[in-house]
């Protein structure tokens, strides 16, 4: 198997090939390393690549002959997530050379299911805004988004079919939109955060990126300890989608707005029933509430770094942490209360709907690598803890990807992924 043939394979296809004896885990890992060697010099997706460890793990899988749910699937791990056998830098020079004592729960579960960890993917500083060196595979002059920068780029470039990311504001959905891949931000509680550097515990969410909705479901099953069954996408004519441009709609640029309107036309032409789902005026403060919660909690989670290594924190992070330290507890409690009220409001808004169809990002990936773009269209859904999926397929005026975001019901991630699988072909095959 060469790197080009491997790059087009989904995780489900790798798993099936190993189960049928058509592939070996070592051959897949070598193909992944070939693909990485070809594209990493221009993409810089990896903070630490572990070629020897990946090949050793693959050979051990072949020797056991029991592929497991993720058997032989190459996996990228965002460098905010602990790995005992690899450095974990958290995107900060403060942690150069740091080696955790144990794998994070998600890494341990993935390895137990047969995944082959290829290495650690680049993250922004503590998963906030200060970017690393990663470039967008669709155009290296543009950002891949953040904070799951390396994971999104590695999947988009065909280096790995699956990668872990995290989201506290928009760190899964936005880079997935910019890079043209799928991403699942589950609802609160689905995936353990044990072993992941906390930033804002009320918001932090583990998720993953892939090139198909079925691959997202495969990882969901691995994390939940459930048996995998391929998705059964509903017929497009059976979809009931709520159109929600959100209070943040003015943040969409011309290309982003046009792509969203195109998605609505394509969904309707395919037979989906679209219903207006305008957010009530009372929810207009949820964006500010998310920012309050994030700043207040980050100031406390990163207190040691603030006190002992202030000179090694970026100016942007300094500003956030100072605002969190200045935030009154009453304002923080009020923001949490707004989130509770917002969940009740959105639950009523989604009654009778399969999902909300909302923007994923303001538009195409911005030019340059000095910033990662605006998470404005994800902040509210992260605050509310609702499952979200980026569905790729559309293009902007510069030919770069623009995704659409599906927001689903709590604890119904599989159903949401099935909706994404139903919608995706109509976006991907748009004229």
pLDDT in tens, 242-266: 999 999 999 999 999 999 999 999 9
Distance, C-alpha 336 to centroid of its chain: 24
Q: Does the CA dihedral 280-282-283-285 come out positive or negative? A: positive
Write down the catalytic residue from 149, 171, 200, 422: 171
Q: Give the model confidence (pLDDT) of 369-395 as tens digits.
A: 999 999 999 999 999 999 999 999 999
Torsion angle, alpha carbons of 50, 53, 55, 58, to 10: -120
Q: Give the model confidence (pLDDT) of 180-210 as tens digits.
A: 999 999 999 899 999 999 999 999 999 999 9
Would you say residue 211 has pLDDT above 90? yes
Write down the catalytic residue from 92, 147, 212, 378: 147
Asked if 357 contacts 263 with a C-beta cutoff of 8 angstroms, the reply is yes
Q: What is the arrangement of strands in the sheet containing 273-276, beginning at the earlier edge strand?
A: 46-49, 116-121, 74-78, 162-167, 205-210, 182-185, 388-395, 401-407, 355-359, 240-243, 273-276
404: β partners? 359, 391
CA angle 75-159-362, nearest 5°?
95
Would you say residue 3 has pLDDT above 70? no
pTM over 0.85: yes
State the Cα–Cα distance between residues 404 and 361, nearest whole angstrom. Answer: 8
171 is catalytic: yes
State the Cα–Cα distance between residues 208 and 27, nearest whole angstrom. Answer: 24
- The dihedrals phi and psi of 36, each to the nearest 5 degrees, come to -65, -45
Would you say residue 431 has pLDDT above 90? no
């Amino acid at each position: 198997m060469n790197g080009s043939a491997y790059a087009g394979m989904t995780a489900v296809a790798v798993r099936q090939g190993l189960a049928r004896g058509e592939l070996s885990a070592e051959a897949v890992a070598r193909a992944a390393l070939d693909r990485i060697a070809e594209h990493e010099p221009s993409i810089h997706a990896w903070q630490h690549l572990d070629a020897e460890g990946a090949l050793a793990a693959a050979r051990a899988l072949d020797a056991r002959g029991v592929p497991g749910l993720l058997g032989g699937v190459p996996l990228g791990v965002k460098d905010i997530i602990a790995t005992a056998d690899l450095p974990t830098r958290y995107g900060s020079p403060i942690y150069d050379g740091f080696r955790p004592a144990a794998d994070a729960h998600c890494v341990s579960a993935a390895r137990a299911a047969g995944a082959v960890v290829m290495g650690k993917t680049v993250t922004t500083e503590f998963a906030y805004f200060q970017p690393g060196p990663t470039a967008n595979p669709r155009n290296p002059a543009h950002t891949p988004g953040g904070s799951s920068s390396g994971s999104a780029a590695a999947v988009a470039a065909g280096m790995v079919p699956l990668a872990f990311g995290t989201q506290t504001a928009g760190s899964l959905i936005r880079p997935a939109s910019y890079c043209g891949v799928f991403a699942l931000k589950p609802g609160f509680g689905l995936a353990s955060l044990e072993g992941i550097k906390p930033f804002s515990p009320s918001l932090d969410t583990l998720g993953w990126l892939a090139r198909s909705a079925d691959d997202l479901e495969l990882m969901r099953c691995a994390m939940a300890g459930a048996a995998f069954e391929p998705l059964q996408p509903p017929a497009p004519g059976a979809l009931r989608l709520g159109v929600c441009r959100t209070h943040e709609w003015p943040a969409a640029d011309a290309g982003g707005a046009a792509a969203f309107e195109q998605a609505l036309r394509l969904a309707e032409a395919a037979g989906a029933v679209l219903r207006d789902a305008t957010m009530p005026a009372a929810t207009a403060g949820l964006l500010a509430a998310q920012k309050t919660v994030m700043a207040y909690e980050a100031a406390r989670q990163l207190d040691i770094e603030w006190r002992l290594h202030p000179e090694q924190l970026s100016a942007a992070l300094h500003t956030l942490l100072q605002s969190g330290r200045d935030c009154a507890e009453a304002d923080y409690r009020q923001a949490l209360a707004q989130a509770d009220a917002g969940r009740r409001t959105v639950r009523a808004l989604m009654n009778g709907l399969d999902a909300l169809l909302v923007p994923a990002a303001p538009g195409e990936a911005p030019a340059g690598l000095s910033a990662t773009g605006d998470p404005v269209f994800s902040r509210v859904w992260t605050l509310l803890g609702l499952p979200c999926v980026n569905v790729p397929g559309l293009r902007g005026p510069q030919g770069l990807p623009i995704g659409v975001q599906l927001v689903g019901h709590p604890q119904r991630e599989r159903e949401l992924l099935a909706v994404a699988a139903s919608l995706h072909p109509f976006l991907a095959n748009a004229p």
